[in-house]
Structure 1
Amino acid sequence: MDLIRHLECFVAVAEESHFGRAASRLGMAQPPLSQRIQRLERELGVRLFDRNSRHVSLTGAGTLLLQDARDLLVRAEALRGAARRISQGKSGLLRAALPSDIAGETVAAALADLNDRHPGVQLQLHELATSDQLAGLAAHELDAGLIHHPCDVAGLELGPVLRRELGVLLPRHVAAAALAEVPLAVLRGHVLALFPRADAPALYDDVLTTCARNGYTPPGVRHGRGSGFVRGLILSADAVAFASRDTARADGGGSDPAVVWRPLAGAPLAVRSSVAWPRGRGDTAVQAFAEAVSEALRSTAQAGPDIADRPLHLRPVAEYLL
């Protein structure tokens, strides 16, 4: 059944309250229109109209479904329009996402580069955690996104995996703040401020596993995303947090009188990221987004190629011992 065409018939009859006028509006004969309405009613399992020889009116079910039908027709027309623009090489809608831990400078550079590479693209950009991006990609509600590894990459294609080393944000008055590089073991006794585990379960576990293996088992973990909230946790509880140099600089880590950023000795922690998209759906707009985001990470966040032999897919279960 051509659902869109049947819904067009439903909406026309509902708005005209007359099969003859609706048939004329649709450019078709009345008997086929009546047959389409009957088939739609059978398909939906409800009666849409009360009919007699002189009058047609919506049933209660028809009234409830009418706005949904109109909304679907609007979306279908938008889809047709986007497809026409794409086929003509003019533009297309790109639904993409970036995580919240990307510095504003990186976001701006990526968007400017994308506009240069694909000026016709209509970008619908979201700020989403890795777990939400994976769900959106699987449901085809997103066309591309910058995800953090390790995570479940089944059914996805990936751009280059780039690495940003993490340092530590800590109160300026604590002893570790005087060090040029901070070993993880020196952070013993400090509560850790970390993103919620639901955002990227495998990465969350990977961070805590690495900390434990390097002598730092935090006495507690507090969760936060926004830089202001995390800063409050650091100041209120002498907590520490991990951040890349670029995000720390953007959040005032270099000029904050109360919080400082220091690199970690031996660079044990890093965020590994890549642009991902559903397999087989990497059109020119997606490729342009992947290239723009990757270049922005290299130029503004000092991200480099991930050459470590680390898995991209790690089951989201705790592997550390507290």
Structure 2
Amino acid sequence: MLHLRYFVAVAEELNFTAAARRLHMSTPPLSKRIKDLEHEVGHRLFDRSTHHVRLTPAGTALLPIAQDVLEQVNSIPWRLTEATRPQRSTVFLGMPEGVHPDLRDRVNTLAERVRERFEVKRWPGATADLVTAVRDGRLALTLARLPVTGPALGQLEQLTVMSERLGAVVPADRFAGREAIALAELTDLPYAASPDITPAYFDQLDRELSELGVKKRIKITHAGFGAASEVISSGMAFSISMLDEKSPMHGYGIENVTVLPFTDFHPRLETALLWNRDRGDCGDLEELVTSVREIFSEPIQI
């Protein structure tokens, strides 16, 4: 092993003096060790002169082999630790944008509860993509905005974990001093839908608004949540978003934008945890799902 370490150092430095310095030894003993190795393997490994050091074809062939052997030996302590420690799996939990901090706290509680058996890591994305990843087995479970649509939903278990009241996002100057608003007061303003991270829910909401007299629309494409705030701030539209001031969605607010509760309309956005039923029932996630059911037994109401 020492001879291989000496060889790799010289092969990487192509300079005996530099390699000896790296190995904290003098050059003559290093040169002797290389000659001993050449004798042992039966091949000359370096072309040496007073001006250069080059690998021979045999040396070139030996270098990746030696590096691989040393890497394997260096990993022995880590491999031994992993082999003797209790089995702990890494699982990924999907997180859509705008998750309320109270729900994040519950997720943290779950991660702490199962940390001896699972390492829970978060994975961001839109609801539809996250649900597909759970269905395909790339994620263990995911938070998802309801309703969830798409193929193979029958194989997924769904547990509602949060219900959030929604309010009207309106120009602040137009509704100054107001503590609430009626939907009927907004029928002259176009509705600016949020980006399509929860298309099923907002399609449903769009239909409800149309039935209630809100006919005008502004479609904002290829833009984030801040884009809706821009048109609302200018007085050109209104939107609908989470009412609770602790919601991360309030971080997209800018000047002249406020969120007011409705007096005659009561939209709510529900969030659920989803996982593959086969993995949760007597499968590899059974212990994790048991903790999920305990921690999220009562949905958070905001």
**TM tier relative to shorter chain:** 0.5 to 0.7
Name 1:190's counterpart in structure 2: 189
1:33-182 pair list within 5 angstroms: 90-103=87-100, 105-106=101-102, 108-120=104-116, 121-152=118-149, 153-160=153-160, 162-175=162-175, 178-182=177-181
Q: How much has 1:140 moved relative to structure 2?
A: 1.0
SS at match of 1:230: helix
Change (3 A) 1:89 1:109: same
- The total of aligned residue pairs comes to 216
Is 1:262 paired with 2:260? yes
Structure 2, gaps ≥5 residues long: 1-78
| Aligned residues of 2:98 and 2:249 also touching (Cα < 8 A) | no
Deviation string 1:169-228 (CA, Å, 9 cap, x unpaired) is 1110114x544322222212323332334x333212201011112221233232577443
Residue type at the aligned position of 1:96: L
Is 1:218 paired with 2:216? yes
Provide the rounded CA distance (Å) in 1 between the counterparts of 2:115 and 2:94.
18
| Aligned residues of 1:194 and 1:241 also touching (Cα < 8 A) | yes
Q: How much has 1:249 moved relative to structure 2?
A: 5.2
Residue type at the aligned position of 1:238: M
Provide the rounded CA distance (Å) in 2 between the counterparts of 1:224 and 1:292.
37
Provide the rounded CA distance (Å) in 2 between the counterparts of 1:190 and 1:291.
45
Q: How much has 1:166 moved relative to structure 2?
A: 0.7
SS at match of 1:281: helix
Name 1:285's counterpart in structure 2: 288
What is the RMSD of the two structures over their aligned residues, measured on CA atoms?
A: 3.6
Would you identify which runs of 4 or more consecutive aligned residues in structure 1 move more than 3 Å? 223-230, 247-253, 286-295
TM norm structure 1:
0.56
Q: How much has 1:145 moved relative to structure 2?
A: 0.7
Structure 1, gaps ≥5 residues long: 1-80, 304-322
Residue type at the aligned position of 2:241: A
SS at match of 2:228: helix
Q: How much has 1:136 moved relative to structure 2?
A: 0.7
SS at match of 2:144: strand
Deviation string 1:261-311 (CA, Å, 9 cap, x unpaired) is 11122443111221011112122224435655676x72xxx34xxxxxxxx
| Aligned residues of 1:234 and 1:241 also touching (Cα < 8 A) | yes
SS at match of 2:142: strand
SS at match of 2:230: helix
Change (3 A) 1:179 1:214: farther
Q: How much has 1:89 moved relative to structure 2?
A: 5.8
Provide the rounded CA distance (Å) in 1 between the counterparts of 2:249 and 2:160.
27
SS at match of 2:216: coil
Residue type at the aligned position of 2:256: A
Rg larger for = 2
Change (3 A) 1:294 1:223: farther
Provide the rounded CA distance (Å) in 2 between the counterparts of 1:225 and 1:142.
27
SS at match of 1:160: strand
Provide the rounded CA distance (Å) in 2 between the counterparts of 1:248 and 1:168.
16
